[in-house]
Amino acid sequence: MTAAKFDSGTDSHRYRRRTPLSARGEPKIWLMGTAVVMCLALIAIIIVMIVYRGTRTFWPGPIHEIRLDDGSIVLGVPMENEGFEPVTESDREAVEQARNAGAPLGDAAWTEDGRPIRRRYFVGNRDLGQETFRWIPLWRVQSIEVPEDAVLIERQEWGAFLGRLTGVVRDSFVDPPPEGNVEPSSMVETPEGTRRVERALVSGPNGPVLRERVYLADVNDDVAAAIKRLQAEQADRWSRIDHLNLREAPGIEREIRLLQWRAKAARIAHERTIQASRPELPIWVWMLLLAGAIGLGAAGLRVRKDAPKRPYAQIGVAACWMVALLLGGAAYLERPGARADLSSDDLAKLEAGIDARIADLRNRQKAALDELAELQAEDRLLRVIATEPTHGRISPISRSEPDEPMMLSQVVRVVEANRLGTRGKLGVYFDRWWEYLSTPPRDGTSAGGVFPVIVGTVTLTILLTISVVPLGVIAALYLREYARQGLLTSCVRIAINNLAGVPSIVYGMFGLGFFCYMLGGYIDAGPAKPMALGSWWALWGAIALLSILSFALGVLGRKTTVVGPSRSGKLAGTLTLVTWTTVVSLAAWAVATTPYFNGFFEERLPEQPTFGGRGILWASLTLALLTLPVVIVATEEAIAAVPGSMREGSYGCGASKWQTMRRIVLPSAMPGIMTGAILAMARGAGEVAPLMLVGAVNLAPALPVSSEPPFLHGERTFMHLGFHIYTLGFQNPDSEATEPLVWTTALLLLTIVLVLNLAAIVLRARLRAKMRTSAV
């Protein structure tokens, strides 16, 4: 009978497995497969779009010379075509006339359905008052040529200039000008050969002066080659100008400011010495405090050694140690010489030394600025003359001097796109990529490189990972292995899961209020309203008594009966939680209102808050809180996946719970912990909203990592790729021109996140391989 039932059960089991899924009302596999394919397709589309648009930004396109029906000439780089419908009645009439008369470009001016086509050109020349891009209807175009002498000049400011190079000149000035008539133009012998010289009277600082402009290259020469040669010759001068302007002069100013803050700190200390109404403790009182702390600490050790398991002995040990800590803290805070009293004579000597040092630095700064002014004056003598064909205007040195040609140092690169072959275009392409990855932004942030942005992003991601992984692992380990599984633990897990859904801007507001203003302000200037000294020590006495009471309740609450914890034990456990919470709250209040701390950077306030403002340290901690639920959940799952037999085997070998956690559970769960770290890293690297509030800026004055001690400057603001994308796309005054850079920056951010994740994945794979080897 049993065998018959077994066979029947076996047949039924086989029948169920052979029955199609749809017959049992379960979802079809093809539907789930379709959903997976759709998700993968969307991801692939996003990646392909970013890669395609991001990699074509720096490719040099051809330069067209467009002659319109009104006789005007435009130089531009073609971007895209689109069909459009004329809006106004006059435009529709003009389109009909052109269609009837026949456009010069023929069918290329019309779409297949008969609509007119317009082409978007990059025309540059923003400093001359024209838009960066221009839509040109092809039915208005008389001819399109690709002239070889057309160039695209990338400049330090105002974007690119499209035109033709007409000369490179070196100016010199004669003051006072010679009397009589001056020959306006002549040929002279120069080290470069026979060159044309143009002379003109111009206004100088003290009256008219004679300007002699020597053409080092003109339209009959290769002007672009002459520019490259002169740029190589002037590289040392420009490097020196950058060193003086960006490093030496600001470095001297920073040293002067530090000395001024040191003098201010000394004056503050002197004022506190004058206003102090409480003398130092006598030496015998201080020695009595120290001896009491040492004696009580030793007594606690002795009691703990003699009766380690007796409840009242444990309470006595806690009482001895708590009072010993209180006395030891008092002895440390009131130690002889702890109050840095500064007399008037000492203050005068210190200020005299600081004033002498500042005077020496001022002389060095003046010499550096004089050298900088001399080099910049020499730099203004070399000019590049480039003309645009629409109105015949030159590329000016500035908008306030429209008739003065731009300086050679304002030219970043000259691209003769129509003369370049594939090899030359590849050279320009990779040269632009190198500039993008290795230089800081210029022209605001609409051009140049993103090196500071990369440094800020990578530094923030590393700090975020270092902050969140240990905290998340410790929290998950406690919740899974040590915490009593009950209502409170369940509420904590629900709160952690809910924190994962809080909008990131809320974390940014919390970081700004708590980290930047509250904690940072405390680090800078100490407590805003310090407590009176007697009240503060009375508070610590109450904290010590409550701590002893909490420990006693915890010891008494461990009593159990045969069926479990007694009612008194449960009550003692609840009171223990309440009293320890009160102790922690009172201790935090005591630290926040201590009269013994006046901040680390009090002398810098209010001019320059150090940690009391936005910075990369607070940004990393804010993102650590944002990604903490991810790490906790992933770590809990990894710890739960460790087989219980491994724990039992460890306990059977005599290992303690902590030894089992450290040597068995955590190494086995490490791949899962690394998964949580990878998810946190990817989430934090792409966040923008909280960073806008706690540290990210459009243009940072200095890197958060440098060769100056302490090497990592947590108080500095920083640049971030996500925020840079937002700035380029939505905050830039010429956001249409920076659209290609948005895609390139998105590609770079995607690459950095991928590289960091791959590094973590490789580490996780090695850990798994190590675990398999250990198991074998």
Three-state SS string across 213-249, please? Answer: EEEEEECCCCHHHHHHHHHHHCHHHHHHHHHHHHHHH
Residues 350 and 258 sit within 8 Å (Cβ to Cβ): no
Would the pLDDT of 775 be above 60? no
Encode pLDDT of 563-616 as tens digits. Answer: 455 666 667 777 877 888 888 899 899 889 988 888 889 888 888 899 999 999
Backbone angles phi, psi at 642, to 5 degrees: -70, 130
Residues 75 and 65 sit within 8 Å (Cβ to Cβ): yes
Stretch (H or E) spanning 7: helix 2-18
The 3-state secondary structure of 61-123 reads CCCEEEEECCCCEEEEEEEEEEECCCCCHHHHHHHHHHHHHCCCCHHHHECCCCCEEEEEEEC
Query: DSSP letters of 148-162?
Result: TTEEEEEESSSSEEE
| Percent of the chain whose pLDDT exceeds 70 | 87
Q: What confidence tier does 73 reach under pLDDT thresholds 50, 70, 90? A: very high
Mean pLDDT of 87-108: 84
What pLDDT, on a 0 to 100 scale, did the predictor assign at position 309?
Answer: 60
Would the pLDDT of 91 be above 60? yes
Arithmetic mean of pLDDT over the chain: 84
Q: Where is pLDDT greater, at 322 or 134?
A: 134
Q: What confidence tier does 301 reach under pLDDT thresholds 50, 70, 90? A: low
Mutual orientation of helices 666-685 and 739-775 as an angle, nearest 10°?
A: 180
- Rounded to whole angstroms, how far apart are CA atoms 193 and 382? 17
Q: What confidence tier does 97 reach under pLDDT thresholds 50, 70, 90? A: confident
Task: Give 3-state DSSP helix, strand, coil % of the chain, rounded to 5.
Answer: 60, 15, 25
> Which pair of tokens denotes residue 609?
């808050």
**CA 373 → CA 51, 176, 359, 367, distances in Å?**
45, 22, 21, 10
Mean pLDDT of 201-224: 85
> Which pair of tokens denotes residue 542?
């109450």
Would the pLDDT of 744 be above 90? yes
Q: Where is pLDDT greater, at 214 or 329?
A: 214
Would the pLDDT of 315 be above 80? no
What pLDDT, on a 0 to 100 scale, did the predictor assign at position 317?
Answer: 65
Mean pLDDT of 422-442: 93
Q: How many CB atoms are closer than 10 A to CB 657?
A: 13
Would the pLDDT of 774 be above 70? no
Residues 157 and 443 sit within 8 Å (Cβ to Cβ): yes
Coil vs helix vs strand at 495: helix
Tokens 């479990």 correspond to 564
- Rounded to whole angstroms, how far apart are CA atoms 576 and 561? 19
What pLDDT, on a 0 to 100 scale, did the predictor assign at position 12?
Answer: 45
**258 closest CA partner among 610, 642, 711, 765:** 610
- Under DSSP, the state recorded for 766 is H
Residues 413 and 155 sit within 8 Å (Cβ to Cβ): no
Encode pLDDT of 339-388 as tens digits. Answer: 666 778 888 898 999 999 999 999 999 999 999 999 999 999 999 999 99
**CA 20 → CA 16, 28, 708, distances in Å?**
9, 9, 70
**Which of 38-42, 321-325, 435-439, 499-503 shows the lowest per-residue confidence on average (mean pLDDT)?**
321-325
Stretch (H or E) spanning 203: strand 193-204
Q: How many residues does this entry show for the chain?
A: 776
Q: Where is pLDDT greater, at 424 or 312?
A: 424
> Which pair of tokens denotes residue 590?
């005591």
| Percent of the chain whose pLDDT exceeds 90 | 40
Residues 620 and 463 sit within 8 Å (Cβ to Cβ): yes
Mean pLDDT of 489-501: 88
Q: Where is pLDDT greater, at 272 or 86?
A: 86
Q: Where is pLDDT greater, at 555 or 725?
A: 725
Q: Where is pLDDT greater, at 329 or 698?
A: 698
What pLDDT, on a 0 to 100 scale, did the predictor assign at position 501?
Answer: 85
Q: What confidence tier does 468 reach under pLDDT thresholds 50, 70, 90? A: very high
Mean pLDDT of 157-186: 86
Would the pLDDT of 626 be above 90? yes
- Rounded to whole angstroms, how far apart are CA atoms 168 and 219? 9
Give CA angle at 427 (424, 432), nearest 5°. Answer: 130
- Rounded to whole angstroms, how far apart are CA atoms 60 and 421? 11
**Which of 264-268, 315-319, 430-434, 474-478 shows the lowest per-residue confidence on average (mean pLDDT)?**
315-319
What pLDDT, on a 0 to 100 scale, did the predictor assign at position 563?
Answer: 47
Encode pLDDT of 147-168 as tens digits. Answer: 999 999 999 988 899 999 999 9
What pLDDT, on a 0 to 100 scale, did the predictor assign at position 386?
Answer: 93
**Which of 23-37, 507-521, 607-621 shows the lowest per-residue confidence on average (mean pLDDT)?**
23-37
Tokens 């018959």 correspond to 4
Would the pLDDT of 560 be above 80? no
**Which of 321-325, 500-504, 682-686 shows the lowest per-residue confidence on average (mean pLDDT)?**
321-325
Encode pLDDT of 27-43 as tens digits. Answer: 578 888 888 999 999 99
Backbone angles phi, psi at 384, to 5 degrees: -120, 130
Most confident by average pLDDT, 5-14, 279-288, 593-602: 593-602
